[in-house]
Structure 1
Amino acid sequence: MVTRIQRMLKRLPTHVADIKDNPRWLPMFALGRVMLFRNLAWKLTAPPEHIDLTNTLFPELDVDHVTEQLRRDGLFQGVRLPTGITSEISSFARRTPCFGNFDRKIELVAEEHRSVELATGKAILTGHFFERVLDCEAARRVQQDPLLLQIAQNYLGGEARVTATRLWWSFPSKKAKDYDLHLASQDRFHFDLDDWRMIKYFFYIEAVDENSGPHVYVVGSHRQRFLRHQFTLVVGHPSEEIERSYGREAIVKLTGPEGFGFVEDPFGFHTGSLAERAPRLVLEISFGVSEKLHRRFHGEPVIH
């Protein structure tokens, strides 16, 4: 309990700054975890637009099928990036410096990971590119893909828009402690409270197996939520508790080859896992219905 309170207090300046930046964020943060209010927000959706899908990177996907499975499970697997796009993003990520552990003072390229850990004495579990991802033409093309937008509008409503584009490494580390895992969202299942309605696309730019930090999702938890997981100030819960509540069979570990992708409703419980053997490189495109925060890049803590 003490640790949870300490984490909440550490996040407090970020929450206060978010409220100042956009006061409409407060009711969502306070009430968005309660299914009653969340379901009411879903009833306010505008009809989706009809979007020209001629230039999509994903012509094999059926929009209605993806939307239906998202509504039922909160998760759809089988969004695959073309090889050329995957290669371009991988090349960009290997030559472009990222920021270790969300800290702009720790700048490194991926191959320097071990030497930077030794030099700083810190566990470096993640390397985020923040706004630099938008310097990658291939990543921008994925972000702007019309089919991804069409699925988002079908699921979220006509207000759906891109709210974040992220590219980051998850690095193996033998130095990781509990706080490091928490910072990297690898310590417990949690749900996102960034918007009333959201979906996120994830693409593995390099192959991910069980030892490379696969993403884990609890199928169906986006629409069925126990009261103790609604009326709580924390969004994170231990794996054992989630397994008891929603069943082991609902927990899906997502592995796949280069270019493998999936889309999820991040209100469902999910977690990252520690990369043990090889680093993981992920591109994430988020869609929501509210205006995004301009004060900081998505995922970046408040800078004091």
Structure 2
Amino acid sequence: MFVLARTMPFRRAHWLTAMRVSPSATAAESMFGAIRATDVASELRKTGIFTGLTLPAPIHGEIARFARETPCFGNFDRKLEFLAGEHAEAERRFGRAILSGHHFERVLQCEAAVAVQKDPLLLDVARHYLGGEAKLITTRTWWSFPTKNASDAELSRASFKFHFDLDDWRMLKFFFYLSDVDADAGPHVYVRGSHIRRRIKHQLTLLVGHPAQDVLGYYGEDSATTLTGKAGTGFVEDPFGFHMGTLAKTAPRLMMEVGFGVSRPSRRRYHGEPVIR
């Protein structure tokens, strides 16, 4: 999969195996209101992204409170444990730059986060887009921190350049901002349409990350959507399309992801978060 799924002919062949799903006669009640899964799936097929999701204030407020009060792990390292509000002190204590802080399996201790991952709209969208075999595979929350201590090498290893995900043949990821995100707080960027067309040289390399000028020179500058918004802002994307996180410059960004896929759990799919079987 890791080799073949990057090529468009093999991806298209795998999409042909997707189980068809009929529109639901009655939609289950969702915290996101009267959004139709078929409409979301239709937009995803065209552009790779849908941006019309909003978490209710009590939900995103509770998850944010949990994230502030629950220790996270810096740079995916369980030895670097600290509270988000103590980020600067943690960098001094550990003697290194800390760009991110993940809660890993602790996210499942937050009832509001679990309610989001179980919301019926998410699975309905995933089934209409990925096929009837779509299933929940992962949930995670994490902080992205501003830091003046990161080296160029550390920044280059982070997701601050356009890349695409190859964790499954077919995937869908829902993202929710749990803090206000402006241009200086690490907004997510997605290249519309790049999930269904791919430059030949991007298919014939094992690299998944590419310079912005290389990607936008092919897909066009206007294809890149920078997603900013207040806490609660949500969107869903096909992560095979080119995307990237940007560096948080002035304020930390708190984010939640709920992912769906079609294959059996694979160790390389996960980043320390709980494996949902």
- TM-score, normalised to structure 1, is 0.86
Aligned partners of 2:130 and 2:61: how far apart in 1? 31
Aligned partners of 2:153 and 2:23: how far apart in 1? 45
Partner of 1:90: 64
Unaligned runs of 5+ in 1: 1-27
Output the amino acid matched with 2:66: F
Partner of 2:227: 254
Aligned partners of 2:268 and 2:116: how far apart in 1? 22
SS at match of 1:41: helix
Shift of 1:133: 0.7
Partner of 2:128: 154
Q: Percent identity?
A: 53
Output the amino acid matched with 2:221: R
Say yes or no: does 1:228 pair with 2:226.
Answer: no
Output the amino acid matched with 1:40: A
Q: 1:77 aligns with which of 51, 59, 75?
A: 51
Unaligned runs of 5+ in 2: none
Say yes or no: does 1:291 pair with 2:264.
Answer: yes
SS at match of 2:6: coil
Aligned partners of 1:262 and 1:104: how far apart in 2? 29
Say yes or no: does 1:208 pair with 2:181.
Answer: yes
Check conservation: 1:130, 1:298, Cα contact below 8 A: no
Aligned partners of 1:214 and 1:204: how far apart in 2? 9
- Report 1:1-304 matches (<5 A): 28-48=1-21, 53-186=27-160, 188-293=161-266, 298-300=270-272
Aligned partners of 1:89 and 1:234: how far apart in 2? 35
Aligned partners of 2:223 and 2:118: how far apart in 1? 32
Aligned partners of 2:124 and 2:112: how far apart in 1? 19
Check conservation: 1:130, 1:297, Cα contact below 8 A: no
Check conservation: 2:104, 2:141, Cα contact below 8 A: yes
SS at match of 1:199: strand
Q: For each residue in 1:277-297, what CA deviation from the matched residue of structure 2 results, as whole angstroms up to 9, or x when unmatched?
A: 10000000000001123x588
Aligned partners of 1:84 and 1:60: how far apart in 2? 19
Higher mean C-alpha displacement, 237-246 vs 275-284: 237-246
How many pairs are equivalent?
Answer: 272
Check conservation: 2:177, 2:256, Cα contact below 8 A: yes
Structure 1 pair 134–280 and aligned structure 2 pair: CA distance change class (3 A)? same
Shift of 1:300: 3.7
Aligned partners of 1:227 and 1:54: how far apart in 2? 42
Aligned partners of 2:171 and 2:66: how far apart in 1? 27
Shift of 1:196: 0.4
Aligned partners of 2:68 and 2:37: how far apart in 1? 33
Aligned partners of 2:58 and 2:175: how far apart in 1? 17
Structure 1 pair 50–246 and aligned structure 2 pair: CA distance change class (3 A)? closer
Aligned partners of 2:188 and 2:74: how far apart in 1? 20
Aligned partners of 2:35 and 2:72: how far apart in 1? 32
Aligned partners of 1:170 and 1:75: how far apart in 2? 22
Q: For each residue in 1:138-157, what CA deviation from the matched residue of structure 2 results, as whole angstroms up to 9, or x when unmatched?
A: 01111011111001000000
Check conservation: 2:168, 2:269, Cα contact below 8 A: no
Q: For each residue in 1:108-161, what CA deviation from the matched residue of structure 2 results, as whole angstroms up to 9, or x when unmatched?
A: 110110011112221100001111111111011110111110010000000000
Q: For each residue in 1:167-218, what CA deviation from the matched residue of structure 2 results, as whole angstroms up to 9, or x when unmatched?
A: 00000001122332244312x1000000000110000011100000000000
Aligned partners of 1:128 and 1:63: how far apart in 2? 30
